[in-house]
Amino acid sequence: MFVCICHGINEKAIQQAVSEGAKNVRDVRRSLNIGSQCGQCVRQAHQVIEQAKQTAAGAEFYAA
């Protein structure tokens, strides 16, 4: 599903950015330019980032 229509960014791209170290919308904006045009996607991008961080934390918990 597309999160940022202006730049054609989907959930997978955001999840990939989080796996590469992005921790918030500002970090994702630096790498993917998300939210830099109309800004409509920022709230949903935040939700996707938080979910990706929780998923990554859970994976680390079970890997330890």
Binding residues for ligand FES, rule: CB under 6 A, are 4-7, 34-41
Residue whose CB is less far from ligand FES, 10 or 37:
37
Nearest approach, Cβ of residue 10 and ligand FES (Å): 11
Nearest approach, Cβ of residue 39 and ligand FES (Å): 6
Q: Which two tokens stand for residue 56?
A: 């990554």
Residue whose CB is less far from ligand FES, 39 or 61:
39
Diameter over CA atoms, the chain? 41
Whether the Cβ atoms of residue 36 and residue 29 lie closer than 8 Å to each other: yes
Task: Choose among 52, 55, 59: nearest CA to 11.
Answer: 52
